[in-house]
Structures are given as structure tokens and as C-alpha cells.
Structure 1
């Protein structure tokens, strides 16, 4: 279960395991109370019970802080007791991610103990897995300054009008990283329905994950989602979905759009990029560019535009004419 959360959210499994053990003793022993069984990450909410939901909740809160800090949206953190704390500019995104998650579980005084006391969480983590700073030095920077996005095409077949239904928004679950875009196929039906349209590979690479509505293409073909460029496709129907181990070229069919794999109000495909395991915001220093169309974010999630020269396509779930886009390559 922890491995699944780590791969879906693209979060270090050591962090998940360390906090799980810190909160409820699941890793080295057995939880000693019903509360620890129901709420293994310590978040007491009847709608968020069992290990999967609790770990997903924790991962989302860490990502909120991590990417919110990197993208300039998370400058303060708030506590349940009404206090707010402005974040120091020298902090790194990983620390802010943890600090943010802990605010949902502790008041300020207990939070400060968890962060700064002699027996703080970071000391606990190091006892389990060693020094995280030394490990980080072996892989940083995750996104070098000179990296560029490889050429990618729109994820559907040419000369067919799809609708741009979702501008930059959460890459996975509700985490605050605006890395994804949505496209819906042409249809006279609304809502969730079977579509004969094809989603195609925007990049060439190896299919390393296929199931539960997801297809992940690994561009460098080494089989690891944590290295190089990968592209996530969500809401891919079971029928005709490309299997794991398939090498796809640009434009190859990978499956049909659907509502499978997560919450959805209508048939579409959701796509997001990662580089070295890190979600890449759709608008920013490395904007999402598909068939020459560049993604731009609005101040509102799911809003935004695709621009190409003087042409502009607007994102809207209504799929009106000004959302229509086609591959013309």
C-alpha cells in the first residue's frame, strides 16, 4: 500500500514509512489502539480511514507545501488554533512540505516540538533511514537549470477536434501542484460514456504502468518512473489499453478516454509530466508545450489557455467552440 501511494503521488516511500511508524507504530510492530488502526497517519476524520486513504491524505498535504512553496503560493502556514506562521525564505521545499502536513495534526506548540525539539521527527527519520541530506546530495538538483522539455504532441489523432476542458490543475488527487491538462473527445453525449476516440502517445517511450485508468510512458526507457521524463495519462479505459512493457512511438494509440481511475464528471484524458520523479507545473519555467501549443495558467484552478503565436484556446468544461483544438501536424 505504501509503495502504491509513493508511486502514484511521486513521494519518497521512506518518508511515508517513517511518519507511519512515528504516528502509530505500524512498521516495526502493531498498532496498540483502535485509533491507530483507523487513523494510522493521525488524521482523525471518519471519511479518511484505513492505511491507503490516510497515506494518500498525508502525501497530498506534503505535496501542497512542497509545490506550493516552489511555485510561490505557500508563503504562510496556518494552525487549527488560529495561529499563522510566515515561512522563512531560506527553507527548502521538502521541509515546507512536512511543516505544512504537520499543521493539520498539531497546534503550534506541539508542532514546534515536532520540528525543533531534541527528539524531533527528523531525528526519528534519521534513526530509521539515515541522513536524508546526504542522500539528497546524491541526486540534486532534481530539475537542472538547463533541462528542456522534449517535443510532445497533443494526445489525440490528427484532424479531429477535441475540447480543452481543463487548464493547469492538480496532477494527482487534490494535491496543490498544477501540472495537469484535460482534453475531452468529440461526442454528442455528456457525462461518463464509452468513447471510440483514441488517446495517443505524446512522446515515445516504454509503458511502465498500465491499469486502474492510468498509463505512464517512460521516455528514457530505463523502466523507472523516478528518472528522466515521464508522461502520465489518467482516465484511460480498460478496453484496448496498451499493456505494460510496450514500446510506443509518438502518435501510437494507447487507449480510449473514459472516467476510469478517479473522480470525473465526464469522459476525458488527464495528462501530466514528471522529470526525475518531480511533477512539472504546466505553466512556469518549463511550460507544457503540445504540438506547439503552450499552456498558461489562470489564477483559478482548471482555468487557463493554450497559446500558439496569436492563437488562443480557452479551457472550459462546457466544451464550447473556443475550447476546440485539433492536431494539424
Structure 2
């Protein structure tokens, strides 16, 4: 629905916007009067015809009833599920590859539009600002060691906090007129969103200034989405609190949370309507459900570094809002108090000053310093399929806005910029503007992030390796610890995570004593047993002759032992036996690539023992996969 009406003479842009949005203009009122009279005349004619039509309809139904006697329907026989279907029935499944079902129009502002506007990045924001009378088109400010335009500031904040940048621009116009006012006052710029706090010292208010006001607004919108399930009261300019009306949509509540600190309870509805009308004038009606946004993608990402790296932080499915809720709810469906770190919205890979690679082909939509109070050097790619990947804490960015990159292209150098503890790559993935876990979800219970009104369903997105909780790829041969082709010697213990649900581990034997474990689980400790000196595991598939890539899955489990360094895998193939020494810490939670070989039937095998560089570390036995390679 598009709102059209004449501009009210002498009215402010905000007042005119409200008139357009609500229809309360003289033109709209006279139009409604004519429409009401026309409807009354039509209703009168309908009443004169209604009784004969009802009688005719009843007679027609009676005739049809006697002419057509219904026969008793026989229920179709459903085929019994196969044994394979029964086995997989309880296994976690990936979300279907279909577009999100439109939820219908919203009463105020559609929730999906709060977090996403397709194709609206720095060039588009700058072009929009260039067309406005206001001065934001030429505004620039230093962020860290760079000077950023206002378009870059808005896009950087919006990407970091999962927000539609059009919302920020509409707030600036409805609150301070900064788009339409050719020469706004310094007061309008200093208090652009209307947020004020008492100065600790004159002129030192932390909220004073355009960028501080924008940062405050986007954070309020983030906190509102985080807190929506709890529905805390609104806090107003004078410090008073008032509960939000029951039944508000997520977007209405979030925008009210952002506007309340700048107004009074009796003025909040007026501020909300002014914002909605301003947004409609600038960007179109925000209420209809999106109908042409991309469906969830098939796996398309690849490893974002040149070599394996240790995972230091997981995606938290219990609200990745950079807050604290008592642990990290991993994609395995368990809350782990000692799994780093609570509220994390991506994955961290230990990497010190090495190239960060594009996980897929795409367009650079941000390259610079994201202003999260820490000037984090970042690159963000849009992949043209509804997904974005975010590369955070870089020491330098080597690409520019608008640049096209291919999968595996270097984007910058990893580091520890911004609010980082030690050098690493933070990889975030967003689908339609909302954070999503590229490792999917493997829990037996429902994914809390998918059920969150502000959340998103997660699916496995890595094209270069299979999901640990999905079926093997077509044509692949899998030997797991419960398969007929698996055997082991010595004492092994069971861990609750791994391919297909669990894995085995044993204690290493080595020449040097191990240091203390870096992490010990606080919940459900596994209490590793002091084991016999030697242990081994063997995998023997029944395969046909051919060329195969061999992968071994290494689970990530806090079992009281550091993963072993210097563990040897031996692969028996048609050309003999190849050995590879591995640091399991670099491959935990991933598939270890053991190489590609020619195999002959009856002799293929993978073997692992518990000898390592250090004693008393963890050695894992989980699934091994043979992937056929086309000649």
C-alpha cells in the first residue's frame, strides 16, 4: 500500500509524513467521505437482492444432494518407512531449502525489514544522502586511523549490529530533521536522536555528537531485540518506566525502546507514528512482508584461512547479542559454561597476522574501521544470495568498497584490532541481516536461536566438508565407531559429541609430560581414566576400486585433556601406506584431510594410535569418510 496525499500547507515534514501514514489530511478525509457514500449506496442495492439469492442457493444445494450420493472414502495405504528412514528419523535435519514463508503484513513495521534492506550499502546510502538537502552528504569523522564518510559510519554500525540502515536514516529525519534541514543547528547535530544525559563536566556528555547518537540508537535497537522475550518496561527521558502494551510486534517494541529515552510517555505514540510515516515517505511502506528475498542457500562457503587454525570461540545459539546468559549454547545443542564465549555472534579462529580469505565470491560492501567504540578493522562481503560474511579484528584491510572478489581471495591480514583479546579472525555470517551459524544445528532439542523472534534458523554452509550431523555425501563411504568396519584396542572412553552423536577418546603416550589442560568442563565432566600404555583404532571400508579423498572427523569436547600433538594417522591405499603426523588442536570441530589416494578393494584402511609428542593428552577416534574423486 502506498500512501498519497497533498502536502499540508505550512506543515513540517514530520507532520506531513504522519498525515500521509495515517490518512488524516483534508484530501484524505474528503476522499473517505465520497467513498463512504458510495459504499452505502452499494450496500442498499445488495440488501434488495440478498433474499432471492439465498433462496436460489438453498434450492441448488438440495438438488445437488439428491443427485449425488457420497460414497465412503477409503484411506490410502501409506508405505511403511524403510529401515534407513527409521534410523534417520531421530537425527537432526537441516532446514528446508525454501524461501521464508511471508508472515503477512505487520501492523506497524515488518520484523524482517528491521534488520535487512537488500542492496543498500555505502554507495546507495551516499547516493541517497546526495539527494537530500541536509549536510550529512559531506559529513566525515575519524574512526581509528581512518576518516569515514557518514554513509560508511551508518553502514558499519548497521552491519555490526544487524540493522537495516534505512531505519537509522529515518530516525535521524523524524527526530532531528537532519535529512531535510539544509543548515541544521549544532544542537540538532549534537542531539540527533534526542538522547541526553547529565554532563559529568561541561561539554563532556558521552552521548553528545552525531556519531555517539547513532551508536546509542543502534545499540538500543540491539538490546530491545535481545530482551524482547522478557519484554522489560520502557524507560523514558525523565527516568520513569512504563510497561509496553501487550501484543506489540518485535519491531514496534524495538523502536519504542529506542525512542522512549528521548521523549515522555504521553508523546511516545506520536514519535512512533512520526518515524513510521517518515520511513514510508523515504523508503516505502515497511508493513508488507518481503516476497522476493532469497531462500536459504545450499552450502557455498570454504575455509577462510590459508591453513588450519584452532577454534577459540563458538557461535552462541542462546542469543548471540554480545550479552551474558550463563554459558555458550553450541550447535551441538548443549549449554557449556566453559565454552568460549557467552553471547558470541560468530566463530573465532586463532590466527596471527596471516591472510584472511573470502569464504565465497562476493562484493565488498564494507572495508574500513567499524565504530564499536574500538575501531575494529573489518571487511564485509555480500554474496548475492541473502548471505553476508563478516571478517573482524583485521590488522589491515586490502580491499575497497564495491570491489568484486573471488572465493579464496585475500581480504586483509588477521590481527587484534578493536576489542580483541589476542590475534584471531572473527568470522560472522548473516542471513537476511540476522546472525546465523554456518555450522548449522545438531542438537536433539529445538534450536533456541531459530525460535527467537529476533533469530534465524541455521544450516550447514560449508561446501568443502560435510556436516557432522547430516547424512554422508552421495557416493561416500563412512566408517564410524559403531560401524562393522571399525575396531579398537586398549581402553577408550565415550564423549557425548561427535559424528552421529558421540565419539571415543583415549589418553596419549609420549616422551614428554603434558602441561595442565587449558579448559576443564564445569558441566558434565568426563573424568578421563588413567589408561593402559597403548591404544589404537582401525577403520576398514568395503569400497570399490577408485580414487578417494579421506577425511577424519575430530570433535571439539572439553574432556579435561588438551587435544594431542603429534598423533600419527596411517592410510593404507593401493600404493602402500602413507603416514601423517597431526596436531589435533588445529582440527578440533573439523574434518582432518588425510589426503587423496587410489584404493583397491579389500585393503583400504585408516589406523590411529595413541602415541604422541606429549603424554596425557586426548586422542580421538570418530568417523572416517572416503569421498570418491572424479577422474
TM norm structure 1: 0.67
Change in 2 beyond 3 A, CA 1:67/1:140 = farther
In the alignment, the residues of structure 2 paired with residue 148 and residue 77 of structure 1 have an alpha-carbon distance, to the nearest angstrom, of 38
For structure 1, which segment, 279-288 or 37-46, has the greater mean C-alpha deviation from structure 2 after superposition? 279-288
Change in 2 beyond 3 A, CA 1:218/1:112 = closer
In the alignment, the residues of structure 2 paired with residue 219 and residue 65 of structure 1 have an alpha-carbon distance, to the nearest angstrom, of 28
CA apart distance, 1:321: 4.1
Deviation by residue 1:177-217 (Cα, 9 ceiling, x = unmatched): x672242426xxxxxxxx34333333333444333322222
| Structure 2: unaligned runs, 5 residues or longer | 1-148, 198-204, 326-342, 370-376, 438-446, 451-456, 470-496, 503-554, 564-583, 594-631
CA apart distance, 1:65: 2.5
1:83 is the counterpart of 2:241? yes
The aligned counterpart of 1:16 is 168
Change in 2 beyond 3 A, CA 1:18/1:209 = closer
1:54 is the counterpart of 2:213? yes
Q: Secondary structure at the match of 1:312?
A: coil
Equivalent residues of 1:67, 1:93 under 8 A apart = no
Equivalent residues of 1:179, 1:280 under 8 A apart = no
In the alignment, the residues of structure 1 paired with residue 292 and residue 178 of structure 2 have an alpha-carbon distance, to the nearest angstrom, of 32
Equivalent residues of 2:170, 2:275 under 8 A apart = no
The aligned counterpart of 1:31 is 184
Alignment of 1:185-200 (within 5 A): 185=350, 195-200=352-357
Alignment of 1:60-209 (within 5 A): 60-66=219-225, 68-69=227-228, 72=229, 74-80=230-236, 81-86=239-244, 88-89=246-247, 91-115=248-272, 120-122=273-275, 124-125=277-278, 128-129=281-282, 131-133=284-286, 137=288, 139-140=290-291, 147-148=296-297, 150-158=299-307, 160-165=308-313, 167-168=315-316, 180-185=345-350, 195-209=352-366
In the alignment, the residues of structure 2 paired with residue 4 and residue 173 of structure 1 have an alpha-carbon distance, to the nearest angstrom, of 22
1:229 is the counterpart of 2:387? yes
Change in 2 beyond 3 A, CA 1:83/1:44 = closer
Deviation by residue 1:134-174 (Cα, 9 ceiling, x = unmatched): xx537347575xx256343443344x342323543998988
CA apart distance, 1:61: 1.6
TM norm structure 2: 0.38
Q: Secondary structure at the match of 2:168?
A: helix
| Structure 1: unaligned runs, 5 residues or longer | 187-194, 221-226, 295-305, 315-319
CA apart distance, 1:27: 2.0
Deviation by residue 1:228-250 (Cα, 9 ceiling, x = unmatched): 211111112227x355524222x
Deviation by residue 1:38-70 (Cα, 9 ceiling, x = unmatched): 22111124113321221122122223334654x
Q: Secondary structure at the match of 2:233?
A: strand
Equivalent residues of 2:347, 2:428 under 8 A apart = no
In the alignment, the residues of structure 1 paired with residue 212 and residue 320 of structure 2 have an alpha-carbon distance, to the nearest angstrom, of 17
The aligned counterpart of 1:287 is 458
Change in 2 beyond 3 A, CA 1:230/1:105 = same
Give the count of matched residue pairs: 279
Change in 2 beyond 3 A, CA 1:86/1:50 = closer
In the alignment, the residues of structure 2 paired with residue 243 and residue 35 of structure 1 have an alpha-carbon distance, to the nearest angstrom, of 34
